């Protein structure tokens, strides 16, 4: 390794536990002045927790942070800023209704006798933007600027406090290619000025385009620190997904691959008593692959797409089949699901269900055509937290019956009891508010909500995220039994082994594009190869 | 828990009634000790008279308003226009009975339909145009009273039509007729919300609108419906208020009553953030206001001071619902919290 | 787009156009409407509403709302009148006490709202009941003020040409306006208020004193209400516990018509002045006409509210559409 004096930030043995979840466990991070350092990891890896500890939003439980030769423990973003650590978040955290100049200097405006000097402020702001190679009318409103420009303005603000370390938390997720290039140019310029930049992203190509080194986290633990140039893309993906690269070719269907140990694991005990699920379950490729032609397509979509969502893609989902939708975070999986369920309107393409063309413009309509959608965002798109388990469970069913034909209470209770038993939902009774249930049990209630509708196609978006291992296995088993009963399933997950285990066919997405479709003999390795494949 | 118990919990709003019932009981107990005449009843001409009967009678308008307001607040909104809509109903009613010979059986539905339409307008502003409820209903709050005055030409319109006068002054089953109106409206509202799925849809919409929409709940339609219903309730209250004084005074009818109704709902245990609601709680909240006012009056305090205890009750109700406040209290009592 | 065009504020411009059109129409329709005297009266007659609206502007800019101002004004008038007439205080200390009381009252409301995250709507609704009740506690009757100091102040008139002159009440209103414009544009407190209303989470992450600003906004509004109450005692020569009922709604309407978004973050004190003047112009026009009645004021204000809310809606949705593409 190079000269130690380059090392600007030395975080050692950082640990953080939230009630029931170990978010970070003995993580190290080393950042050097004059480098761009990628921080990589899938959901629940601990990236955002680590960043929040560095920026003083959370306090760490254990570990030390040495910054610029001093031990620091910032207690607030402004303390971190004072120490020289500035952050730009994915959601631009500026005031959209104020001018560009104010957004750069709010809280530290140049003043004379307590009076804000607007002219000096505008000059100062223009200079700060110049440093980034940006020429801009600084008196215009922030919200009239594109997101990319707002991002730059946020960076200008962050740098204006004499920052030595700039943390960019997923700054590119809403930028197009050209805008990304412009941002990268600025990042390189700042790096050459001697700034340390920590760059969080889930776009692999960007990591290779702009970073010098990579730290990979997984499930709250450190996987390792690597030189970007010396780490092949495929290996990086393997590390993010928790695979040993040597294991890759043989890891068919996840046999022998331990299920990830945590991801918000509320009840530690369940992890150890793994059910004998893996061996029992049908593994995708071991089954004789049935050809598409033999199956009846339930839904087929032709070149459906949406600006800033997904590029137009084709999709066919068959009855009695699990179609996996694989790809890294931000690859357009959820966006595809939302288009199919009529939540977002599509800009292009058409969809037919059971051979008939349908508009699919609202969830209500999608439901009436036999679709169901279990969102990945349980909290904001799934549960009604204060309503009971019973009410959450029958909500979709009641909605499809209309307001006037109320399900009689005994019937509601029968359905609720049935699913509580069938899915092994752990709840005191049917009247418990759903917010009192653990994540896995909430997820099962939401699944039950849709199963009670007896849909013909169920879209499961990350159904196993943030729930304990036992519940994960149960959900996988359930998906299998649904398929056997002739239901079509669209299964979205960032756990590749899971996708491989449950799906008969897999559509692979990367950077909001469909990059391939695999059927029959596929494994994690082939999916990762598709994801890693360079842009053409 | 048996099925019927579950049903009853749904109808009455579970444990949220504890504080409102306790406060009302405490207030009544206070009167029992310091002003026993409070519980004095008298039967004249087969009609029951007494302070408690007065409270029921005078509280009827706020009780009616708070029925509609409860549903609006459950949907995550608020309706500031109900006081002005009372004036609209009073003006329309008085005009129709004095200027036309329409039977009262047509006048009433006409007034209520008009108020329902105004309410639906509020609902459309909130759903179709996505304007915050406070602002959307503020428009009709300002304009509505102007429209009412326009209708009456700024005059106080008096009327003698017996059927109209009966609404606010008559007696049925020995009790003021207003009690019957409130009871019938309450039971009808309970029935509509709890015997159909409207209540479930409403609570789901207020609790998590996005999730409800994804379940196929017609959230926008439900919202328009509750604002329209709130308008109808305001219409009934307006007819009673004008009948009470046998006149429509567009300038004064229902003045500030929207605030009393919101007060009744919040004190009754329905959170301003929406979701779970309790109609019975709002009724108790409305009775609490009226009892408070009457108690102070009986104690010889000028009625104008009545707002002060009201202010204390509303801030206390807010604090009880605030998680931050409960945390702060726990911080003050460290020993009790840890043991 | 040139620099000037970009910095023009469309809602503010719309408000100005409405004011000019209204005033122009009234001048054409009514003899003598277009005069300095009418303009001077516009400021004098709307001084109470104007000062209250200035305070309300900051509350709304911060993303809050305050329903208590009408009652707070009433409380101030009876307090001042009772201290002067009943207790023979000199008006100046009486006014200082009233200003302190108003500020303290606002501070209390702000504390409850900020510290316990209570809805501003309900806390200030409580405040409205409280202040109204306390006004009647101080004095249940209207109290007249006969005091040499008052006569002296009422004799202050700033001639503005012709026989027209601005009375002391109008001057206090204009002074409050100028100070508010200065605070809004040139002080950290003012800018932090805009930031708080624009996006409270961002403001917190940017290291701004969000909690302190939020409490201060209500305290300042309490001060403004007290000042408006003092002006009301000059204007009516008395204190009345029933005064100012519903004034908070007029103030909110004036602020919104003045181009301030009720969601916070966008708007200006200058716009509020225009909003108040629109209010006053309609009122004066109704007086001049004689045939039209006062309810037209409410209907006109309601329709203007609707118009401006729809206009704001259109502008904000266009702005968001632009920044996402």
pLDDT tens by residue, A524-533: 788 888 887 7
Q: Which residue has the tokens 């510290």?
A: C115
Q: Nearest C-alpha of chain C: how many angstroms from A339?
A: 19
pLDDT at site A267 = 35
| Pairwise CA distance, residues B7 & B5, whole Å | 5
pLDDT at site B269 = 84
A268 closest CA partner among A429, A501, A438: A438
pLDDT for residue B126 is more than 60: yes
Which one of A197-211, B17-31, C101-115, C288-302 scores highest in mean pLDDT? C101-115
Asked if residues B220 and B205 have their Cβ atoms less than 8 Å apart, the reply is no
Strand partners, C159: C165
pLDDT at site B13 = 52
* A139 compared with C221, residue with greater pLDDT: C221
What's the gap between Cα B63 and its chain centre? 4
DSSP secondary structure string for all residues of B136-198: HHHHHHHHHHHHHHHHHTTS-EE---HHHHHHHH-EETTEEHHHHHHHHHHHHHHHHHHHSTH
| Pairwise CA distance, residues C107 & C53, whole Å | 18
* Nearby residues of B45 by Cβ (< 8 Å), 6 or more positions away: none
**B214 and A395 in contact by Cβ < 8 A?**
no
* Both tokens assigned to A457: 């196609």
Asked if residues B72 and B230 have their Cβ atoms less than 8 Å apart, the reply is yes
Reported as half-sphere exposure (CB side, CA atoms, 13 A), residue A163 has a value of: 29
* Nearby residues of A100 by Cβ (< 8 Å), 6 or more positions away: A125, A129, A136, A137, A138, A139, A140, A141, A142, A145, A153
pLDDT at site C5 = 44
Domain limits of chain C?
9-319
Residue C105: exposed, middle, or buried by beta-carbon count in 10 A (0-12, 13-18, 19+)? buried
pLDDT at site C323 = 47
Q: Nearest C-alpha of chain C: how many angstroms from B172?
A: 35
Q: DSSP code of B303? A: G
> What ipTM goes with this model?
0.83
Same fold, A4-84+162-246 and A297-370+455-536: yes
* C300 compared with B1, residue with greater pLDDT: C300
Q: Nearest C-alpha of chain B: how many angstroms from A134?
A: 36
Strand partners, A488: A321, A457
Structural domain includes residue B109: yes
Other CB atoms within a 10 A radius of the CB of residue A89 amount to 20
Pairing verdict, β A196-200 and A36-40 = parallel
| Pairwise CA distance, residues B27 & B25, whole Å | 5
* Both tokens assigned to A179: 């805008």
pLDDT-based confidence at residue B124 (cuts at 50, 70, 90): very high
Q: Which fold has domain A297-370+455-536?
A: Rossmann fold (3.40.50)
User: Containing domain of residue B258, as a range?
Assistant: 10-40+50-328
pLDDT at site A403 = 82
Tell me what the pLDDT averaged over chain A comes to: 81
DSSP secondary structure string for all residues of B241-270: HHHHTTEE-TTTTTTTHHHHHHHHHHHTT-
pLDDT-based confidence at residue B231 (cuts at 50, 70, 90): very high
pLDDT for residue A443 is more than 60: yes
Probe site for chain B from C64, C122, C245, C282 (most B CB atoms < 10 A): C122
Q: Is C265 at the interface with chain A, CB within 8 A?
A: yes
Q: Which residue has the tokens 């428009």?
A: B139
pLDDT for residue B161 is more than 90: no
Domain limits of chain A?
4-84+162-246, 96-160, 297-370+455-536, 386-454
Pairing verdict, β A505-510 and A321-326 = parallel
* pLDDT per residue as tens digits for the range B50-75: 777 888 888 899 999 999 999 999 99
| Pairwise CA distance, residues B275 & A388, whole Å | 12
Asked if residues A110 and A120 have their Cβ atoms less than 8 Å apart, the reply is yes
* pLDDT per residue as tens digits for the range A496-514: 888 888 899 999 888 788 8
Q: CATH no. for residue B163?
A: 1.10.3470
Other CB atoms within a 10 A radius of the CB of residue B43 amount to 10
* A160 compared with C196, residue with greater pLDDT: C196
Asked if residues A274 and A230 have their Cβ atoms less than 8 Å apart, the reply is no
Q: Which residue of B has its CA nearest to C65?
A: B134
pLDDT for residue A278 is more than 70: no
Instruction: Give the neighbours of chain B: at least 3 Cβ pairs within 8 Å.
Output: A, C
Q: What is the mean pLDDT of residues A22-46?
A: 86
3-state secondary structure A173-210: CCCCHHHHHHHHHHHHHHHHCCCEEEEECCCHHHHHHH
pLDDT for residue C229 is more than 80: yes
Chain B residues touching residue C263 (CB < 8 angstroms) = 132
CATH architecture of residue range(s) A4-84+162-246: 3-Layer(aba) Sandwich (3.40)
* pLDDT per residue as tens digits for the range A164-206: 999 998 887 667 777 788 888 888 988 998 899 999 887 777 8
Structural domain includes residue B307: yes
Asked if residues B271 and B199 have their Cβ atoms less than 8 Å apart, the reply is no
In three-state secondary structure terms, A455 is: coil
Q: Which residue has the tokens 């609790």?
A: B207
pLDDT at site C255 = 93
3-state secondary structure C76-127: HHHHHHHHHHHCCCCHHHHHHHHHHHHHHHHHHHHHHHHHCCCCHHHHHHHH
pLDDT at site C95 = 93
* pLDDT per residue as tens digits for the range A373-424: 998 888 888 899 889 899 999 999 888 888 888 888 899 999 999 988 888 8
Q: Which residue has the tokens 């104007």?
A: C50
Asked if residues A343 and A306 have their Cβ atoms less than 8 Å apart, the reply is no
From C125, C293, C302, residue closest to B139, measured CB to CB: C302
Other CB atoms within a 10 A radius of the CB of residue B49 amount to 17
DSSP secondary structure string for all residues of C263-280: TSS---HHHHHHHHHHHH
pLDDT for residue A1 is more than 70: no
Q: What is the mean pLDDT of residues B161-169?
A: 78
Structural domain includes residue B334: no
Q: Which residue of B has its CA nearest to A385?
A: B207
Please give the share of chain C, as a percent, with pLDDT higher than 70: 94
Q: What is the mean pLDDT of residues B319-333?
A: 76
Strand partners, B206: none
Probe site for chain B from A375, A386, A393, A400 (most B CB atoms < 10 A): A386
What's the gap between Cα A273 and its chain centre? 28
CATH 1.10.10 holds for C9-319: no
C233 closest CA partner among C291, C147, C175, C136: C147
| Pairwise CA distance, residues A387 & B73, whole Å | 16
User: Among B120-124, B187-191, B215-219, B290-294, which stretch is predicted with the lowest mean pLDDT?
Assistant: B290-294
pLDDT at site A56 = 85
Q: What is the mean pLDDT of residues C111-121?
A: 89
| Pairwise CA distance, residues B150 & C299, whole Å | 9
pLDDT-based confidence at residue B220 (cuts at 50, 70, 90): very high
| Pairwise CA distance, residues A427 & A423, whole Å | 11
* Nearby residues of A3 by Cβ (< 8 Å), 6 or more positions away: none
Q: What is the pTM of this model?
A: 0.81
Q: Which residue has the tokens 């009456």?
A: B152
């Amino acid at each position: 390794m190079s000269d130690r004096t380059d090392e600007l930030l030395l975080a050692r043995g950082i640990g953080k536990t939230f009630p029931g979840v170990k978010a970070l466990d003995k993580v190290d991070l080393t950042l050097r002045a004059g480098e761009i350092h990628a921080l990589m990891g899938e959901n629940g890896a601990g990236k955002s927790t680590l960043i929040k500890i560095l920026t003083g939003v959370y306090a760490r439980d254990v570990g030390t942070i040495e910054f610029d030769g001093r031990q620091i423990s910032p207690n607030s973003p402004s303390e971190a800023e004072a120490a020289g650590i500035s952050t730009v978040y994915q959601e631009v955290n500026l005031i959209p209704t104020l001018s560009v100049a104010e957004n750069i200097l709010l809280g530290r405006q140049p003043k004379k006798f307590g009076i804000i000097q607007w002219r000096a402020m505008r000059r100062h702001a223009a200079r700060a933007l110049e440093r980034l190679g940006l020429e801009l009318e600084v008196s215009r409103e922030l919200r009239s600027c594109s997101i990319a420009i707002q991002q730059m303005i946020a960076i200008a603000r962050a740098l204006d406090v004499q920052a030595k370390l700039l943390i960019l938390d997923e700054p590119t997720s809403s930028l197009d290619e050209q805008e990304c290039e412009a941002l990268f140019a600025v990042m390189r310029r700042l790096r050459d000025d001697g700034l340390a930049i920590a760059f969080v992203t889930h776009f692999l190509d960007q990591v290779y385009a702009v970073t010098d080194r990579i730290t990979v986290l997984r499930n709250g633990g450190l996987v390792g620190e690597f030189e970007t140039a010396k780490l092949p893309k495929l290996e990086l993906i393997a590390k993010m997904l928790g695979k040993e690269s040597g294991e890759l070719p043989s890891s068919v269907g996840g046999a022998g691959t331990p299920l990830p140990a945590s991801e918000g694991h509320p009840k530690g005990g369940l992890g150890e008593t793994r059910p004998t699920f893996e061996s029992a379950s049908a593994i995708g490729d071991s089954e004789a692959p049935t050809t598409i032609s033999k199956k009846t397509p339930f839904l087929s979509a032709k070149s459906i797409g949406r600006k800033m969502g997904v590029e137009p893609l084709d999709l066919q989902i068959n009855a009695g089949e699990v179609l996996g939708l694989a790809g890294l975070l931000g690859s357009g999986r959820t966006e595809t699901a939302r288009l199919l369920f009529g939540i977002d309107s599509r800009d292009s393409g058409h969809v037919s269900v059971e051979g008939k063309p349908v508009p699919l413009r609202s969830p209500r309509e999608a439901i009436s055509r036999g679709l169901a959608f279990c969102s990945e965002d349980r909290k904001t798109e799934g549960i009604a937290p204060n309503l009971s388990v019973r009410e959450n469970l029958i909500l979709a069913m009641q909605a499809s019956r209309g307001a006037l034909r109320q399900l009689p209470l005994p019937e509601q209770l029968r359905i609720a009891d049935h699913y509580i038993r069938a899915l092994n939902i752990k709840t005191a009774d049917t009247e418990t508010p759903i917010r009192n249930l653990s994540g896995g049990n909430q997820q099962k209630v939401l699944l039950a909500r849709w199963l009670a509708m007896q849909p013909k196609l169920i879209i499961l978006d990350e159904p196993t995220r943030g729930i304990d291992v036992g519940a994960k296995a149960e959900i996988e088993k359930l998906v299998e039994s649904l398929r056997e009963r002739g239901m079509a399933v669209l299964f979205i997950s960032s756990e590749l082994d899971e996708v491989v285990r449950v799906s008969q066919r897999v559509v692979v997405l990367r950077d909001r594009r469909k990059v391939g479709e695999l059927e029959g003999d596929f494994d994690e390795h082939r999916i990762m190869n598709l994801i890693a494949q360079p842009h053409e | 828990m048996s099925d019927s118990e579950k049903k009853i919990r749904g109808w009455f709003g579970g444990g949220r009634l504890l504080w409102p019932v306790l406060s009302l009981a405490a207030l009544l107990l206070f009167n029992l000790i310091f002003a026993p005449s409070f519980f004095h009843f008298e039967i004249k001409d087969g009609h029951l008279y007494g302070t408690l009967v007065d409270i029921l009678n005078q509280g009827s308008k706020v009780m009616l308003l708070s029925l509609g307001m409860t549903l609006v607040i459950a949907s995550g909104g608020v309706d500031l226009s109900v006081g002005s809509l009372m004036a609209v109903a009073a003006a329309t009613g008085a005009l129709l009975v004095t200027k036309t010979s329409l039977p009262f059986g047509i006048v009433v539905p006409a007034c209520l339909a008009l108020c329902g339409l105004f309410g639906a307008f509020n609902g459309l502003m909130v759903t179709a145009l996505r304007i915050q409820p406070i602002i959307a209903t503020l428009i009709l709050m300002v304009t509505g009273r102007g429209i009412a005055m326009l209708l009456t030409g700024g005059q106080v319109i008096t009327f003698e039509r017996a059927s109209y006068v009966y609404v606010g002054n008559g007696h049925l089953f020995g009790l003021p007729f207003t009690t019957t109106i409130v009871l019938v409206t309450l039971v009808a509202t309970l029935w509509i919300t709890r015997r159909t799925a409207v209540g479930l849809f409403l609570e789901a919409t207020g609790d998590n609108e996005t999730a409800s929409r994804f379940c196929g709940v017609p959230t926008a339609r439900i919202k328009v419906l509750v604002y329209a219903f709130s308008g109808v309730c305001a219409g009934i209250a307006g007819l009673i208020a004008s009948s009470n004084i046998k006149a429509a005074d567009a300038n004064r009818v229902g003045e500030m009553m929207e605030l009393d109704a919101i007060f009744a709902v919040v004190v009754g245990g329905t959170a301003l953030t929406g979701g779970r609601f309790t109609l019975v709680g709002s009724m108790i909240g409305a009775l609490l206001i009226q009892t408070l006012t009457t108690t102070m009056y009986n104690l010889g305090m000028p009625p104008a001071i009545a707002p002060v205890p009201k202010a204390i009750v509303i801030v206390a109700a807010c604090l009880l619902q605030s998680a931050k406040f409960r945390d702060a209290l726990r911080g003050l009592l460290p020993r009790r919290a840890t043991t | 787009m040139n620099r000037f065009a970009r910095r023009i504020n469309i809602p503010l411009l719309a408000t100005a156009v409405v004011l000019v059109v209204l005033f122009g129409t009234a001048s054409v329709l009514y003899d003598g409407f277009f005069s300095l005297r009418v303009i001077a009266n516009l400021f004098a007659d709307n001084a109470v509403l104007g000062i209250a609206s200035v305070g309300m502007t900051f509350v709304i800019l911060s993303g809050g709302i305050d329903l208590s101002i009408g009652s707070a004004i009433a409380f101030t008038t009876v307090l001042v009148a009772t201290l002067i007439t009943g207790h023979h205080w000199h008006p100046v200390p009486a006014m200082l006490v009233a200003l302190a009381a108003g500020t303290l009252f606002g501070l209390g409301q702000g504390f409850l709202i900020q510290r316990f995250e209570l809805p501003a709507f309900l806390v200030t609704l409580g405040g409205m009941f409280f202040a109204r009740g306390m006004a009647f506690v101080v004095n249940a009757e209207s109290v007249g003020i006969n005091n040499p100091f008052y006569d002296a102040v009422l004799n202050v008139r700033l001639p503005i040409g012709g026989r027209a002159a601005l009375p002391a009440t109008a001057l206090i209103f204009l002074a409050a306006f100028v100070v508010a414009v200065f605070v809004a544009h040139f002080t950290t407190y003012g800018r932090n208020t805009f930031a708080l209303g624009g996006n409270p989470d961002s403001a917190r992450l940017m290291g701004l004193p969000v909690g302190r600003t939020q409490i201060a906004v209500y305290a300042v509004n309490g001060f403004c209400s007290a000042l408006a109450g003092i002006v009301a005692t000059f204007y009516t020569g008395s204190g009345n516990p029933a005064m100012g009922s519903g004034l908070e709604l007029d103030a909110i309407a004036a602020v919104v018509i003045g181009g301030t978004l009720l969601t916070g973050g966008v708007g200006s004190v200058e716009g509020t002045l225009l909003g108040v003047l629109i209010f006053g112009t309609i009122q004066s026009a109704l007086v001049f006409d004689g045939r039209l009645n006062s309810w037209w004021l409410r209907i006109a204000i309601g329709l203007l509210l609707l118009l401006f809310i729809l206009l704001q809606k259109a502008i904000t949705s266009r702005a968001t559409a632009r920044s996402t593409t």
